[in-house]
Amino acid sequence: MDYFVNVTLTGLTQGMIYAAFALALVLIWRSTRIVNFAQGSMAAATTFIALALIQAGASYWVALIVALASGFVLGAIVERVIIRPVEGGPELNAVIVTLGLFVAIQAGIAIIFGSSFQSFPTPFGVRGFEVGDTTIPLTPTSLYIIGSVLIVMALLVALFRFTRVGLAMRASAFSQEVARLLGVKVGGMLTLGWGLAAVVGSLSGLLIAGGTFVWPAYMDALIVFGFVAAIIGGLDSPVGAIVGGLILGLALSYVSGYAPRGSALVNISALVILIVVLLVRPGGLFSSTTARRA
């Protein structure tokens, strides 16, 4: 029983990180209909910025804030400078550009920060809390991960639901042309959307790095899981991305915890889950809801 709870909690924690990454993809897909393959290496870049600060003596929290802020700036710059010129052309162009960017940023990280393995600190312990004399399998680190992702998600919901800027961003996502006619500065909304998405992506990168090693390609596994989570959820639904992330996190944790030689099966099971979901519901789990609304 303890083992089951432990595996479940691990799955939920990992799932939250996948959910954050998937959410970053969904935010960009909704606003610009571009699948941002560069999301992973953009997040890696900000994690390395945080690492450089920490190695220079800054506290984890300062590094976290600087990393998230630089994620915003990086996302905004990428949209303005690299994506804007190819937008409006054939859809594939922008996707190929983000793929190129993915490779370029990863190479840039290796050039600037080196390609060796470096350990990334975590602000909290990984020992479970003690209740009486039993240790429950809930660690401060997993609480931190779950909590920080939840806070970011709540802030995003508040932004989109209750602010004028959020309203304008949603309008731009539904129809750029109509929004423009109504006086919305669509270009600014797209830049802001990319910036925010990059913040969420950066958070997932920082969280997955905590307590382990980072190297320029350390995000590769998360990129795959994040994509799978986003597609499970339907790529168009923020709620879907979160649910997809949690489903994937739990499923992968059970596979690695219970299946024989489970840890070797994790990557394959992610793809199996993806294929099954796409066979049963080609639009993703949350597609029908959006279709009905539309």
Partner 1 sequence: MGPLAQPAGSQRTNDSTPTSRLEMTGINVAFGGVLALTDVSLTVEPGQVHGLIGPNGAGKTTLFNVACGLVRPSSGRIAWRGEEMRRLKPSKLTSLGIARTLQGVGLFPGMTVLENVMIGAHRHARAGFFSALLALPTSDKDERLLRERAMRALVELGAGEYAGRYPGSLPYPVQKRVALARALVSEPDLLLLDEPASGLSEDEMHELGDLIRSVVGRMSVLLVEHHMDLVMRVCDRITVLDSGKQIAAGTPAEVQNDPAVTEAYLGDAVDADADAAELTHAEGGRPHA
Where do contacts with partner 1 occur on this chain (CB under 8 A)? 158-159, 162-165, 167-168, 170-171, 174-175, 177-186, 188, 192, 290, 292-294
The nearest distance, CB 72 to partner 1, in angstroms, is 11
CB of 101 closer than 8 Å to CB of 78: yes
Compare residues 130 and 177 and give the one whose CB is closer to partner 1: 177
The nearest distance, CB 188 to partner 1, in angstroms, is 7
The nearest distance, CB 60 to partner 1, in angstroms, is 24
Compare residues 268 and 291 and give the one whose CB is closer to partner 1: 291
The nearest distance, CB 25 to partner 1, in angstroms, is 18
CB of 165 closer than 8 Å to CB of 192: yes
Compare residues 111 and 155 and give the one whose CB is closer to partner 1: 155
The nearest distance, CB 21 to partner 1, in angstroms, is 23
Compare residues 22 and 186 and give the one whose CB is closer to partner 1: 186
CB of 267 closer than 8 Å to CB of 224: yes
CB of 9 closer than 8 Å to CB of 138: yes
The nearest distance, CB 230 to partner 1, in angstroms, is 18
Compare residues 63 and 192 and give the one whose CB is closer to partner 1: 192
Compare residues 108 and 187 and give the one whose CB is closer to partner 1: 187
